[in-house]
Amino acid sequence: MKAVVTGNEMKAIDTYTIQEMGIPSLVLMERAALSMVCRMKERIDRADRILCICGAGNNGGDGVAVARILFGQGYSAAIYMAGNPEKWTEETKKQIQIARNVGVPEYNELDLTHIRVLVDGLFGIGLSKTVREPYHTLIEKVNQWRGRRKERQVWAVDVPSGLSSDTGQPLGCVLKADYTVTFGYMKRGIILYPGRELAGKCFVENIGFPGKSLQVHPSAGFTCHVQDFEQLPKRKNDSNKGTYGKILVIAGSKNMSGAAYFAGRSAFVVGAGLVRILTPEANRVILQSQLPQAMISVWEETDRDSLANMLAWADTLVIGPGIGTSEIMAQRLKSVFAGSQCPIVLDADGLNLLAEHEEWYSLLNGRTILTPHMGEMSRLTGCSIDELKADRGKAALKLARERQIICVLKDSSTVVSDGKHLYFNQTGNHGMATGGSGDVLAGVIGGLSGAGEGLFKAAYMGVFLHGSAGDAAAARFGFRGMTSVEIIEGLIEILKN
Ligand SMILES: NC(=O)C1=CN([C@@H]2O[C@H](COP(=O)(O)OP(=O)(O)OC[C@H]3O[C@@H](n4cnc5c(N)ncnc54)[C@H](O)[C@@H]3O)[C@@H](O)[C@H]2O)[C@@H](O)CC1
Ligand SMILES: Nc1ncnc2c1ncn2[C@@H]1O[C@H](COP(=O)(O)OP(=O)(O)O)[C@@H](O)[C@H]1O
Ligand SMILES: [K+]
């Protein structure tokens, strides 16, 4: 797992490193600039004209140092100081002084005519509120210059200027980058859309912040990488089907057998020992033929005693895909919540029913993972989708804390919260915007929970795994061709490897 920080969290780590650890600010800056130059050299030519646009803050100081190092190595690099000289920080002043001593060319006016590579050191994590003039006009001018011309490159220092490093939203306007080299730790705003797109390809460079800085100023946010697959529950030789969890999937309605199939099959694929699907009679034959490994029970033959037996049997319940929102289903869900004690993954129509029955939260808290997409989240919270997207992390954290549940807020950039921590997902792709993809996720999380994972870990590992499966599916079948069936194949492939 790797930390994902807000601007303020990064500042606290910065300050602690400089003031308490004694690493001088200029040393960090030099390392930041060196790491950036190293990345750039893999992708630029010696003949390229490079212009570093620098603001008054330390982001500008980094930009000046980048220009000076490139110039010293024989590249055609120049500087344009965009910020107000009265606001230059001490470090930035020092960098300009060094650059002038060395003889790095300096533009007095912004002229992009012959430039091929632009380094954006206008604003970093110090940007507050909406970008003011004259910077707004400057950013628009650079964006126009870049246009869609592939031969022109923009490299953002730390974060693209104008982007909120906390929410991924533009603060008025953003200088669109092809590459971003971010220092210390990944920033939330670079993972969350539209920031992820505006930042281009991102490199995280450790420029010497000691681990102790993060221990003293821990971040609430984190993300997972491929090595975190190690965290998945281990399988044992000396085991049986009861070892890996019994999952009861309550899913499907008369014209929706697929939702039950996807959730049930995915729970099996991540390793569940036994899966039982409770669904209407109309789905019995379909599911028995499509998913013979699952046990099928039907609502029409379920009385109070048999429901109690099923609930006592299950280690985890996955509830909601394709169940509809009828009054009779609402009554059934209430009996399920009241009659069970095990973890619950509540998805889709289960969430829509919950939005109409707030009193159910008292039956759910402490043992439930809610997996809303933006529309369902809007129904659950009463906030508009735009309000939710303005700060996804905050929205997930708030619901989780207030309702004492785990919130998986699904989107192109999914976040997961237990009310204290925030997982930011980096796997997955637009090929996953396909019917049934969410049902697969519910089954994956249910399967992991049934295998004994804690709720929060089952939720974020499930999201990580599901996105990775989507990436494997896209690699094999392409974004358009892949459907939820291929996402399940992707799951099988990555879990095998
Ligand atoms: N401690 C350090 O010395 C280090 C700093 N680093 C760099 O320093 C950056 C942070 O530096 P700063 O804290 O100086 O901040 P920034 O350089 O990101 O931004 C501050 C500047 O932007 C102006 N500004 C802020 N909001 C504005 C708005 N809405 N419209 C117009 N102007 C606005 C401020 O007046 C100030 O001049 C990081 O992003 C990183 O690039 C790195 O070099 C790592 C080490
Ligand atoms: N553009 C995208 N990038 C990454 N993941 C996506 C994207 N679009 C959708 N997803 C993922 O696909 C799943 C869709 O879930 P959901 O909307 O509930 O689908 P359904 O109701 O069809 O099952 C979520 O896990 C979501 O994060
Ligand atoms: K920048």
128 marked as part of a ligand binding site: yes
Concatenating the DSSP letter of every residue in 232-301 gives SPPP-SS--TTTT-EEEEE--BTTB-HHHHHHHHHHHHTT-SEEEEEE-GGGHHHHHHH-TTSEEEEGGG
What ligand 2 atom has the least distance to the C-alpha of 439?
23
Indicate if ligand 1 lies below 6 Å from the C-beta of 91. yes
What ligand 1 atom has the least distance to the C-alpha of 122?
17
pLDDT of residue 94: 98
Please, are residues 416 and 212 in contact by the beta-carbon 8 Å criterion?
A: no
ipTM above 0.85, yes or no: yes
Distance CA 475, CA 332 (A): 41
Q: Each residue of 419-462: pLDDT tens digit?
A: 999 999 999 999 999 999 999 999 999 999 999 999 999 999 99
Residues with Cβ < 8 Å from 137, sequence gap 6 or more?
A: none
Max CA separation in the chain (angstroms) = 86
Four-residue CA torsion sign, 42, 32, 186, 383: negative
Helices (H) and strands (E) in the chain — how many of each? Answer: 20, 19
Concatenating the DSSP letter of every residue in 341-371 gives -S-EEE-HHHHHHHHH-GGGHHHHTTSEEE-
Q: Which of 157, 182, 151 is nearest to 53 (CA)?
A: 157
Indicate if ligand 1 lies below 6 Å from the C-beta of 18. yes
Rounded to the nearest whole angstrom, what is the distance from the C-alpha of residue 256 to the centroid of ligand 2?
Answer: 18
114 marked as part of a ligand binding site: no
Q: Each residue of 162-197: pLDDT tens digit?
A: 999 999 999 999 999 999 999 999 999 999 999 999
pLDDT of residue 174: 98
Ion ligand 3: residue ranges with CB closer than 5 A: 120, 156-157, 161
pLDDT of residue 185: 98
Residue 374 has pLDDT above 90, yes or no: yes
- Residue with CA nearest ligand 2 atom 15: 438
| Mean pLDDT in residue range 42-67 | 97
Residue from 191, 257, 392, 410 to probe ligand 2 pocket by mutation (most atoms less than 8 Å from CB): 410
**CATH numbers and ranges of domains, the chain:** 7-219 (3.40.50.10260), 227-496 (3.40.1190.20)
Q: Which ligand is nearest to the CA of 36?
A: 1
CA dihedral 117, 122, 415, 425 (to 10 degrees): 30
pLDDT of residue 493: 97
pLDDT of residue 379: 98
Rounded to the nearest whole angstrom, what is the distance from the C-alpha of residue 40 to the centroid of ligand 1?
Answer: 21
Place of tokens 């991102």: 202
Residue 259 pLDDT level (bands cut at 50, 70, 90): very high
Indicate if ligand 1 lies below 6 Å from the C-beta of 129. yes
Q: Which of 10-19, 240-249, 255-264 has the lowest mean pLDDT?
A: 240-249
Rounded to the nearest whole angstrom, what is the distance from the C-alpha of residue 437 to the centroid of ligand 2?
Answer: 6
Distance CA 247, CA 264 (A): 8
Q: Each residue of 296-324: pLDDT tens digit?
A: 999 999 999 999 999 999 999 999 999 99
Four-residue CA torsion sign, 383, 384, 387, 393: positive
Q: Which ligand is nearest to the CA of 469?
A: 2
413 marked as part of a ligand binding site: yes
457 marked as part of a ligand binding site: no
Q: Which ligand is nearest to the CA of 90?
A: 1
Residues with Cβ < 8 Å from 379, sequence gap 6 or more?
A: 351, 352, 355, 372
pLDDT of residue 242: 83
Helix%, strand%, coil% for the chain, nearest 5: 45, 15, 35
